[in-house]
Amino acid sequence: MNFFKSAAVLIGVTGVAGAATLGFGWVHPGADEPHSAPVYALLEFARERGIAVRAEGIEVPALGDPEQLKRGAGNYASMCVACHLAPGMSGTELSQGLYPAPPNLPAEAIRSPENAFWVIKHGIKASGMPAWGKSMDDPYIWDMVAFLQAMPGMTPEAYRDLVASSDGHSHGGGESMPHDHRDAAGEADHHGESSGDDAGAHDHGSHDHGAHDHGAAAEGPAAAAKTDDHHHDDPNAPPHAH
């Protein structure tokens, strides 16, 4: 009886504390305020276990043939670079602003192909990582896994050549987004991956247009719509064409 009484009291106290934590708004929802270490550890543990349990038993096909790497690189360049970066690239607005932060995939090897496949297909809740399985079939996801295995250690030049040799954004459906991923020459538009030597079109250093100037207060829909005139003060941000 005493045991049940204590348990009931404990549950009651925990419930009240939990409700107070949520009810008083003590949980900071902002992406610019990190979780406390115990909360982060708990969420990380839950995520890692959740992925590991579901990735177990996924059958990994042969990975690494040149055509597969090419397709993977083309799709990576159009869909993933803004968050996960490319060889030789420093942070982007998305990679720096997201919390949890997207891993720097050119620098970090993926832990296992099964794990990467599952994450790419299903995404990760309450993070910026989308579920690409909604638009990409499994073979295209494996292409990307093969590419992710090969990317760490790749030079920016090798990466650029691989993307240029690919068909760009192509995975048999879902990729017909409002923007065109290729330029007139049929080359993949690297979405921010560019080294800066072809920066003529975007010109980050000069503020002659000023339509989308991050220093200015107004960033309304009108400014957002004029993405071609995207300028800001960060000299490290890679140039990009939308």
Residue 162 interacts with ligand HEC (CB under 6 A)? no
Measured distance between the N- and C-terminal CA atoms of the chain, rounded to whole angstroms: 68
110 binds ligand HEC (CB under 6 A): yes
Nearer to ligand HEC, 100 or 156 (CB): 100
144: contact with ligand HEC by CB under 6 A: yes
Element (H, E) at 167: none
Question: In the complex with ligand HEC, which residue's Cβ is closer, 179 or 209?
Answer: 179
Say how many C-beta atoms besides its own lie within 10 A of residue 52's C-beta.
14
Dihedral angle sign, alpha carbons of residues 119, 123, 128, 132 = positive
By CB under 6 A, tell whether 69 contacts ligand HEC: no
Counting contacts by CB under 6 A, is residue 98 touching ligand HEC? yes
Alpha-carbon gap, residue 64 to 71, rounded angstroms: 11
Give the number of other Cβ atoms within 10 Å of residue 211's Cβ: 15
Subset of 35-54 contacting ligand HEC (CB under 6 A): 47
- Considering beta carbons, is residue 102 or 238 the nearer one to ligand HEC? 102
CB of 188 to ligand HEC, least distance (A): 14
Q: In the complex with ligand HEC, which residue's Cβ is closer, 44 or 198?
A: 44
Q: Which stretch binds ligand HEC (CB under 6 A): 12-20, 55-63, 92-100, 190-198?
A: 92-100
Six token digits for residue 231: 């300028």
Q: Which stretch binds ligand HEC (CB under 6 A): 126-134, 176-184, 187-195, 226-234?
A: 126-134
Structure tokens at 31: 């992406």
The least CB distance from residue 76 to ligand HEC, in Å, is 6
Under DSSP, the state recorded for 121 is H
Name 188's bridge partners.
Answer: 182
* Cα 152 to Cα 77, 96, 156, 201, distances in angstroms: 15, 20, 11, 29
Peptide bond into 100 cis (omega under 30): yes
> Considering the complex, what minimum distance in angstroms separates the CB of residue 88 from ligand HEC?
18
> Can you tell me which of 120, 154, 162, 163 binds ligand HEC, judged by CB under 6 A?
120
Contact 115, 55 (CB under 8 A): yes
Name which of 175 and 213 has its Cβ closer to ligand HEC: 175
Binding residues for ligand HEC (CB under 6 A): 47, 76, 79-80, 82-84, 94, 98, 100, 102-103, 110-111, 116, 119-120, 124, 127-130, 132, 144
